[in-house]
Amino acid sequence: MPVRSLLFVPGDAERKLSKADSTAADVLILDLEDSVSATQSTVARKLVRNYLLERPRANRRQRLWVRCKPVQDEGHLADLAAVVEGAPDAFLVPKVRSALDLQAFDHYVAALETQSGLPVGLIQAVPTLTEEPRSLLEAHTFAGGVPRMAGMSWGPIDLMAALGATTNRNVDGSFESLYAWARGITIVTARAAGVQPIDTISADYRDLEKLRAECVLSRTAGFTAKLAIHPDQVAVINDTFTPSDDEVAHARRVVEAFSIQGAGVVGLNGQMLDMPHLRQAREVLARAGLTH
């Protein structure tokens, strides 16, 4: 099943780690960055490493990612060195500034994979765009594809702090124009690079109706998944980002129409459809875990 929900789990919280794999999240993000204080970094690295080693890739029910510290942080390499042996499925790399950061990350991880006896290139990378203002100016550097990159998310809260702003929302709750632009840049950049665009968190984890509304807007804008900070958010995210039975049925009819009529433009239920409609239908089926 394609990734829909990604749940953060603090790397230094043993109790939360032990309960995390009972959730329905498609991905658990074992966090070594923002949710872990500097004094707990060593403890978190050990707990995350053990968590990964106790769950070999072949036996994992969920994908296990690790959010490391930024490449420019002195703790970045220590995070990688501590957990690569456990073969996480990916690293969520925060505060990227340009594709050069992922290239440096790739060199570090390749050396550590070799040291650990893992195939080079096994572990993927998912950068978080927009947390550093420079990344908005350098987003084009990701478009041609970057080693290991499998997705891309964005961070309006860190961007707000970096810009010295006091809010990133309008009075009606929508993103202020600068942040709406950053959100759009993330979708465009991810799609240009051929990777999955992943929406940011909904901070008010108690308000599930608000979360559902955000998910609907995210999905219609082009995001295919969303980050979660609480287990209660996972079910809503999974439901919203899974194509409905009606969507799947329509997508199948579109694909079938193109197959039968064998043309670049086809008619279906009184509407003329062309190749963008076929691409959209195929994506719906892929998101539903179907090939046709």
Phi, psi of 288 (to 5 degrees): -85, 0
Q: Find the helix or strand (DSSP H, E) in which 227 lies.
A: strand 225-228
Which tokens go with 226?
């969303």
Distances (CA, A) of 47 to 8, 25, 64: 15, 20, 14
β-sheet bridge partners, residue 175: 169
Ligand-binding annotation for 67, yes or no, is yes
**Cβ atoms within 10 Å of 287's Cβ, excluding its own:** 21
Ligand-binding annotation for 131, yes or no, is yes
Q: Which 3 state secondary structure label does DSSP give 257? A: helix
Closest to 187 in 3D by CA, of 142, 229, 232: 142
Cα-based angle 128, 227, 232 (whole degrees, multiple of 5): 160
Radius of gyration of the chain (CA): 20
Which tokens go with 30?
């074992």
Q: Which amino acid, residue 202?
A: S
Which letter, b or e, does each residue of 40-77 get, where b requires 16 or more Cβ atoms within 10 Å of its Cβ?
bbeebbebbbebbeebeeeeeebbbbbbbbbbeeebbb
β-sheet bridge partners, residue 6: 27, 227
DSSP-derived secondary structure for 116-128: HTPPTT-SEEEEE
Binding residue ranges: 67, 131, 158
Q: Which residues are annotated as a binding site for substrate?
A: 67, 131
Q: Which residues are annotated as a binding site for Mg(2+)?
A: 131, 158
